[in-house]
Structure formats: structure tokens, C-alpha cells
Amino acid sequence: MMNFSLVDVKSITSNEPRSNFLEADLENLADIIIETGGIIRPLVVKMTGVENYTVVDGHFEYYAAVRAREKNPRQGEMVNAFVIAPKLEDLVVKQVASLKGIDSSGKIIPPQPETTKLEPRLANLELRLEKQLNEFKSEFLQERQRIDSQFKQLENLIPQKSEQSNPLSLLNTLDKDELSIKLQRSRIPGAEKLAKGIFDARSKKPKQKFEDYRDVVKSVKNLGDKTILTIIDEWSRS
């Protein structure tokens, strides 16, 4: 299975050394990434842990994205990526190698007879992959818009509550132990660890508080959209 996602650059690693690429080339692509708002060709990554990934293909683009994030943390924070199941890694590597014209060992494949007959097929394959990518992007954007809409609907209800019942206010004021207890009462998995993550992330903020719920999701590791929506729903009713 392969899913298209927006992935935080800082949660990705590469087994290929950065020194394999010219810094001038990385610098150039990093500037383009910042200017255009992202990479055109998504990375192919595999999940190695909770919200941790390793590059399978696209090492050059990955290091350029890292450089973009170094230059502009907000603009270069997220990258497009295909997240593959670990069991599919070998098959995906072979597919990528085949499309690049090299075998899985890294050796260049000698030209084959009747290459011109293969070119239209490869062109059609690229078109199909591009179409699939656009469909993935469209579905992802629709899902993101749906979630943002839910956030807005909930936020419109929250001001009617007292300050003590405002989930964002609670996330910005409760200490680590209080957060842990409240998360446990809301039956949030990993409440103690999540409470520490929220507290630590909040402490690193310039004003020691989150700007909004999207800021909470971006700042707290392993806190996904579904979890924050559950927290907002549960804490708004308490």
C-alpha cells in the first residue's frame, strides 16, 4: 500500500550521505522549493517508527528540502511524499530503478534493442503516474479542507464557553501533570507522553503559548488531526 501525504521534513532521515551531492545544487533547488512552496516530485519514504520516515527514493530532493527548511523554517517545513509499507520497499526500489534506467544494484542498464518502441510506453507510464499523483493531491487537499472546516466549526463554538472550558486556553495554561490527568479522563492514548510533548512544545514558543489549534498540531510531535479534534470535542463539553 502507498499513501500520499504531507510529511514534516524533520521527521525524515536519509541513509545516503549529504556529501554525495553538490551544495551549490542543493542550494539552488532549496531556493526554488521556497519560491514555489514545495517540491514537484514527491519523495518516496517508508515509515520506520511513529511519525518517523526514511527516504527510499528522492535523496537529492530530501536534502534540498532540508536546506530549504534551514533557510525558511515555515515555508520549508513540510514536503510531499509517498509513504510505502516496509514490505513493499524492494518492489518500489525496483520500480524506481527501472524508471531511471538502472538496475537495483546501481549499474547502468545497457541500451536494449528497439528502444524507440519503449519510449512511448514510458511516456504513457509517466502520464499515468502524473495523473495518479494529481488525484492523490486532490484527495489530500479535500481531506485537509474538511479537517480545517471542522476546526473552524469547533472554534466558532468555543468562544461561547468560559475561559476555563476553552480547549486552546487549557492547552496553553495547564501544567504537565494537569494536562496528563485531563487527557487520561478524555481517554486519549499515551496521555502522559502526549502531555509532556504539549508542555515542552509550548515552552519553546516565543510567547509560551500556541497561536491556534493548527499551531498545536504542527508543534507537538505525534499529535495528529484526529487526536486534536477529539481533545477539542471532549474538553469543550467538560
The pLDDT value recorded for residue 36 is 84
Cα separation of 198 and 219, whole Å? 8
Cα separation of 213 and 232, whole Å? 9
pLDDT (average), residues 202-215: 90
The pLDDT value recorded for residue 128 is 73
Instruction: Count other C-beta atoms under 10 Å from residue 101's C-beta.
Output: 10
Residue 114 falls in which region: left (phi positive, over 0), alpha (psi -120 to 50) or beta: left
The pLDDT value recorded for residue 117 is 45
pLDDT above 90: percentage of residues in the chain: 29
The pLDDT value recorded for residue 113 is 45
Residue 200 in 3-state DSSP? helix
Q: Which of 13-17, 48-52, 148-152, 211-215 has the lowest mean pLDDT?
A: 148-152
pLDDT (average), residues 213-233: 89
3-state helix, strand, coil in the chain (%, to 5): 60, 15, 25
Cα separation of 140 and 143, whole Å? 5
pLDDT tens for 162-206 read 555 689 999 999 999 999 999 999 889 888 999 999 999 999 998
Cα separation of 232 and 214, whole Å? 12
pLDDT tens for 45-97 read 888 888 889 998 889 999 999 999 999 888 778 888 888 877 777 777 777 66
pLDDT exceeds cutoff 70 at 159: no
The pLDDT value recorded for residue 222 is 82
How would residue 221 be classed by pLDDT, with cut points 50, 70 and 90?
confident
Contacts of 126 (CB under 8 A, 6+ apart): none
The pLDDT value recorded for residue 158 is 52
Q: 66 with 39: CB under 8 angstroms?
A: no
Contacts of 49 (CB under 8 A, 6+ apart): none
pLDDT tens for 97-123 read 666 655 444 444 444 444 444 455 556
Q: Please list, residue by residue across 133-157, b when 16 or more beta carbons sit within 10 angstroms of its beta carbon and e when fewer do.
A: beebeeeeeeeeeebeeebeebbee
Residue 220 phi/psi, 5° resolution? Answer: -100, 120
Instruction: Count other C-beta atoms under 10 Å from residue 119's C-beta.
Output: 10
